[in-house]
């Protein structure tokens, strides 16, 4: 086994599950291992205590005139249950079929350590880095990064940089270098419809009193037309249209066809807004999604009740240049317009996050593309992603800096699931990618 | 206290809760009390063991040429929780404000005992009854009468009769004698829509895969038009239209205005099929009711999931001459027609029951009306009810005999709820009613 893989195995053996307080000691031990590693590499490294899990910051000796690059990663991992579905224990890494099997192998220890080892290699080979480097590693990403934004607020000077790079997203196919330049935003809310004062007998009252379960269904059904378009007035007003080059590039991508979506989801067909492909629908078009609906009897069999209330939980995935607050106003107006008499509507606002978009052909974007090309020997593809990464928005809002997303995860990496794995070749490519990226960004 | 009320208090003190196996001894003791009471009155009384709670049958000496009348009642009661909401203990009856407060006072011990005591009084006064009488009392009504239909099947000869009378329905207002001549039937089913193989991340897949929670809402929304009419093709084909006399009589009834429905239900408005009053909608028009809807995240806050499946539980309340099996075929066709591609539909059939209708102006109906008039000193009103009473259908199907529903319950009798009560005057009127009813039916 190479020294690099030995380092990764040591890193993976920490059960650094951030959500479980019984693992708090393991999370801290993992952070201390990182500190030792970085210190041994000659970086000036500090462990910052937070209310839960430490943040580690490391820097080389910064020199005026050089670009400053911040590389973010997280060393905490998701829980491992159901444990019985793992082929080998989640914290006893093993290599099989060219892949490293362990919790955190892809998300995010494997990708994070590749950056560390790339820096180590460059330092060994050249004695110095081509950029001023800041490593920023947190232990709370899997619980929503509660300490990160306050830490950024409190350490703007310490973290001042020109560009940020993260390897925590996906590749469209094995061996296909991928730069993500956009993320969808989100706006969540819940709607509760209340009718009668209590659950009623559906024989005695059915037919004469509005049924909140029926009405929540009717209300939800007003959100889409049969072609999958969202019917909230003004919903698409600020949507940045897809550019021709995006549609052309995405049409040729592996791993994003309707058949791929069907295979990954287990659904029998794809479906969405008319006039767009599945990749376009999930990466560049906004949605109105029902995450939960409920009301009345939930048990087995039947109960002849006319329920007192029913609810629906919505999230709207937003794209540039939609604004979450503006969208929620429009959604509220839609709800008020379609709420029937005889039931009252309670609106409960939820979390939100802005969509993210950065020009992939900016000078930093071109540097990232070149680094991907060099380390994989192949032209990178440019994609957006359908999910939201709130830290990217926090970096922009607080530090005023854009982020390059150079992901190494594969569709079958099983992140957050049993049997998480990371190809050895992706790990090795990640080390090369770090070296190339810093070189290109430093130019 | 009168001897009649002393009898009622003794009857009410048995905690004859049929659903709770811990009360099985109490249920049996209650049945044995009834046997003693009826035997002491000179009736030939038998306790029939069933798999759960006994059925009591009693008869006078039947004479050829006399009409045979079966009076049905049930001596079991609903559970009493939440106990803390009772003003006085549920099995320690008490008279306050002219009402008897106890579990079972209205449903059904008070009404059932009024029949027994009416018979006792007639026997004392006249030495004989004007009819051949069969008392049929069960202890499983509140758990769905599982033993009754088999008992009817096995004892057709024993229970052979010309007409059945039950006092277990409602009066439209205090002091207003009420004959119910129709009940709605029911057909229940559940629909499950399945989409992706597992819950999906709504950021990664949202917009490209059909969401079963959205689709169940759209499917439910196809069941009604904006005017409250059920949109299942052929749904109204066999509906017996309301007759003019029904609409005229119901329009004048107390306790059935929109304001009454609003007051009893706590809803802010009434709503239903266009062109009908609330009484007409609940008594004589069929409905499609959602008793439960669910899918996706049910907890607090939000979870960005695209659920794998969602369900809706339906009951259709049916009116003469709709047939449950025919309606369910039509509902299935509607579901198949409106189920979108990309989700699969699982239909689960539930219980059903035919609607009931008997001519209130038949000779037996007129006798019942005359008995109500005599015992309350007021013309009775003729109504139907929105609920279903499966035993009425069982009597028609198995014994081939119609049922007269002469109810004494009031809207605020709190049956099945804490603080159940029964006006002393209704109890006394019930005794008079039994005497008058047997006299009129015997003519």
* Residue A51, number of CB atoms within 10 A of its CB: 8
Mean pLDDT value across residues B329-334: 98
* The predicted structure's pLDDT at residue A304: 87
**A356 DSSP β-pair partners:** A183
Lookup result for tokens 């190339």:
A436
Chain A: nearest CA to B264, how far in angstroms?
Answer: 9
B188 in A contact zone (CB under 8 Å): yes
Dihedral sign for Cα atoms in the order B47, B49, B53, B59: negative
Distance CA A259, CA A318 (A): 25
Neighbours of A412 (CB within 10 A): 13
Q: Which of B128, B127, B107, B99 is nearest to B5 (CA)?
A: B99
Backbone angles phi, psi at B277, to 5 degrees: -80, 170
Same topology, domains A3-183+355-442 and A185-239+286-353? Answer is no
| Listed range (A122-126, A194-198, B80-84, B226-230) with the worst mean pLDDT | B80-84
Nearest Cα residue to B334 out of B189, B156, B167:
B189
Q: What's the number of CA atoms in the CB half-sphere (13 Å) around residue B394? A: 20
Going from the C-alpha of A403 to that of each of A392, A399, A437, the distances in angstroms are 6, 11, 13
What radius of gyration do chain B's Cα atoms show? 24
- Choose among A201, A209, A267: nearest Cβ to B261: A209
Rg (CA), chain A: 24
* Residues of chain A positioned with their CB less than 8 A from the CB of B239: none
Q: Rounded to an integer, what distance in angstroms lies between the CA atom of residue B10 and that of residue B116?
A: 14
Q: How many of the other CB atoms lie within 10 Å of CB of B225?
A: 11
Please give the Cα distance from B386 to B356 (Å, whole number).
11
Q: What angle do CA B264, B428, B413 make, to 5 degrees?
A: 20
Q: pLDDT tens across A65-74, in order?
A: 999 999 999 9
From the number of C-beta atoms within 10 Å of its C-beta (0-12, 13-18, 19+), residue A146 rates as: middle
Three-state SS at A182: strand
Give residue B351's pLDDT band: very low, low, confident or very high (50, 70, 90): confident
Report the alpha-carbon distance of residue B401 to residue B392 in Å, rounded.
9
- Is the Cβ pair A268, B342 closer than 8 Å? yes
User: Taken in order A272, A277, A280, A285, is the CA torsion positive or negative?
Assistant: negative
Token pair recorded at residue B212: 């079963």
With CA atoms as reference, the chain A residue closest to B194 would be A267
Q: What DSSP state is assigned to residue B25? A: H
Q: Are A196 and A399 in contact (CB under 8 A)?
A: no
Contact A352, A186 (CB under 8 A): yes
Side-chain half-sphere exposure of B345, counting CA atoms within 13 A: 21
User: What 3-state DSSP class applies to B305?
Assistant: strand
Q: What is the pLDDT of residue A443?
A: 92
Q: Which residues pair with A187 in a beta bridge?
A: A316, A352
Domain A3-183+355-442 has CATH 3.40.630.10: yes
Smallest Cβ–Cβ distance between B293 and the set A208, A213, A221 belongs to A213
Question: Please, what is the average pLDDT of chain B?
Answer: 96
Distance, CA of B417 to CA of B159 (rounded, Å): 33
Read off φ and ψ for residue B307, nearest 5 degrees.
-70, 150
User: For A184-242, what is each residue's pLDDT tens digit?
Assistant: 999 999 999 999 998 998 999 999 999 999 999 999 999 999 999 999 999 999 999 99
Summarize the confidence of residues B38-60 as an average pLDDT: 97
Boundaries of every domain in chain A: 3-183+355-442, 185-239+286-353
> Is the CB of A217 less than 8 angstroms away from the CB of B217?
yes
Give the 3-state secondary structure of residue A75.
coil
Low-confidence ranges of chain A (pLDDT < 50): none
Q: How confident is the model at residue B143 (pLDDT cuts 50, 70, 90)?
A: confident
Residue closest to A278 by CA, chosen among B195, B341, B208, B204: B208
Dihedral Cα A132, A135, A136, A142, nearest 10 deg: 140
Helices (H) and strands (E) in chain B, counts: 12, 18
DSSP B17: B
**Alpha carbons B56 and B386: distance in angstroms, whole number:** 29
Residue B82 touches partner A, C-beta closer than 8 Å: no
On chain A, the residues whose CB falls within 8 A of the CB of B315 are: 202, 206, 302, 304
pLDDT value at position A245? Answer: 96
pLDDT at position B302 is 84
The Cβ-side half-sphere exposure at A149, using a 13 Å CA radius, reads 12
Determine the pLDDT at residue A255: 86
* Cα distance between residue A170 and residue A411, in whole Å: 7
Element (H, E) at A315: strand A309-318
Residues forming a β-bridge with B317: B186, B287
**Do A195 and A212 contact (CB within 8 A), yes or no?**
yes
- Residue A216 to residue B216, Cβ atoms within 8 A: no
Q: Is there a contact between A287 and B386 if contact means CB atoms under 8 Å apart?
A: no
Q: Give per-residue burial for A215-232: e unless 16+ CB within 10 Å, then b.
A: bbbbbbbbbbeeebbbeb
Across the interface, whether the CB atoms of A298 and B292 are under 8 A apart is answered yes
Interface with B, mutate which of A203, A229, A230, A272 (most B CBs under 10 A): A203
The helix or strand, by DSSP H or E, that contains position B435, with its residue range, turns out to be helix B424-442
**What 3-state class would DSSP assign to B296?**
strand
Are residues B285 and B319 in contact, defined by beta-carbon separation less than 8 angstroms? yes
Residue for token pair 């993500």:
A180
Q: Do A267 and B210 touch (CB under 8 A)?
A: yes
A286 touches A316 (CB < 8 A): yes
Distance CA A443, CA A441 (A): 6
* Separation between Cα atoms, residue A306 and residue B264, nearest integer Å: 14
CATH value of B185-239+286-353 in 3.40.1160.10, 2.170.120.12, 3.30.420.10, 3.30.70.360: 3.30.70.360
The dihedral sign for the CA sequence A209, A211, A212, A217: negative
- For A248-263, how does the pLDDT look when each residue is reduced to its tens digit (9 = 90+)? 999 999 888 999 999 9
Give the CB-side neighbour count of residue B136, counting CA atoms within 13 A. 26
Asked if A261 reaches chain B (Cβ–Cβ under 8 Å), the answer is yes
C-alpha distances in angstroms, A79 versus A22, A146, A343, A421, B38?
A: 12, 18, 42, 15, 68
B157 burial type by CB count under 10 A (0-12 exposed, 13-18 middle, 19+ buried): exposed
Pick from B267, B341, B386: CB nearest A195: B267
What are the tens digits of pLDDT across the range B244-272?
999 999 999 988 899 999 998 999 999 99
Match 């002469």 to its residue by tokens.
Answer: B406
Q: Which two tokens stand for residue A244?
A: 């021709």
Report the alpha-carbon distance of residue A200 to residue A279 in Å, rounded. 46
Backbone angles phi, psi at B394, to 5 degrees: -65, -40
Torsion angles phi and psi, residue B312, rounded to 5: -140, 140
| Distance between CA atoms of residues B300 and A131, nearest Å | 46
d(CA A320, CA A284): 8
Q: Please give the interface size between A and B, counted as residue pairs whose CB atoms are below 8 Å apart.
A: 286
3 state DSSP class of B369? helix
Question: DSSP letter string over A385-402?
Answer: ESS--HHHHHIIIII---
* Rounded CA separation B282/A103 (Å): 59
Answer whether A291 sits within 8 Å of B305, measured CB to CB.
yes
Residues of chain A with C-beta less than 8 angstroms from the C-beta of B340: 271
Q: CB distance from A259 to chain B under 8 Å?
A: no
Interface probe, candidates B197, B209, B258, B337, chain A, greatest A C-beta count within 10 A: B209
Instruction: Report which of B186, B255, B195 is spatially closest to residue B219, judged by C-alpha positions.
Output: B195
């Amino acid at each position: 086994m190479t020294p690099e893989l030995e380092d990764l195995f040591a890193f993976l053996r920490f059960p650094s599950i951030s959500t479980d307080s019984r693992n708090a000691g393991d999370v801290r031990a993992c952070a201390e291992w990182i500190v030792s590693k970085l210190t041994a590499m000659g970086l000036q490294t500090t462990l910052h205590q937070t209310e839960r899990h430490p943040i580690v910051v490391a820097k080389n000796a910064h020199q005026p005139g050089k670009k400053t690059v911040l590389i973010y990663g997280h060393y905490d991992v998701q829980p491992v249950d159901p444990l019985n579905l793992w082929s080998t224990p989640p914290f006893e890494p093993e290599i099989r079929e060219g892949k490293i099997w362990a919790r955190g192998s892809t998300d995010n220890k494997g990708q994070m350590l590749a950056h560390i080892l790339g820096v180590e290699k460059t330092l060994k080979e050249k004695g110095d880095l081509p950029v001023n480097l800041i490593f920023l590693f947190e232990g709370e990403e899997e619980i929503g990064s509660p300490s990160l934004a306050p830490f950024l607020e409190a350490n703007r000077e310490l973290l001042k940089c020109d560009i940020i790079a993260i390897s925590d997203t996906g590749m469209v196919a094995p061996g296909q270098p991928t730069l993500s330049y956009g993320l969808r935003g989100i706006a969540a809310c819940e709607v509760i419809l209340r009718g009668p004062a209590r659950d009623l007998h559906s024989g005695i009252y059915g037919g004469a009193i509005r049924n909140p379960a029926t009405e929540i269904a009717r209300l939800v059904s007003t959100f889409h037309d049969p072609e999958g378009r969202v019917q909230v007035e003004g919903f698409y007003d600020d949507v940045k249209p897809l550019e021709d080059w995006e549609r052309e590039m995405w049409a040729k991508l592996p791993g994003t066809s309707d058949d791929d979506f069907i295979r990954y989801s287990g659904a029998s067909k794809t479906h969405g807004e008319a006039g767009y492909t599945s990749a376009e629908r999930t990466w560049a078009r906004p949605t109105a999604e029902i995450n939960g609906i409920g009301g009345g009897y939930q048990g087995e069999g039947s109960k002849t009740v006319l329920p007192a209330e029913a609810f629906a939980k919505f999230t709207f995935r937003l794209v540039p240049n939609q604004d979450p607050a503006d969208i929620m106003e429009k959604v509220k107006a839609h709800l008020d317009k379609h709420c029937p008499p005889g039931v009252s509507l309670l609106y409960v606002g939820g979390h939100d996050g802005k969509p993210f978009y950065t020009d992939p052909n900016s000078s930093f974007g071109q540097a990232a593309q070149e680094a991907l090309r060099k380390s994989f020997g192949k032209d990178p593809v440019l994609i957006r992603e359908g999910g939201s990464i709130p830290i990217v928005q926090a970096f922009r809002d607080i530090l005023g800096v854009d982020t390059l997303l150079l992901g190494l995860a594969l569709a079958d990496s099983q992140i957050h699931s049993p049997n998480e794995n990371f190809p050895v070749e992706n790990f090795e490519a990640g080390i090369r990618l770090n070296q190339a990226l810093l070189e290109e960004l430093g130019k």
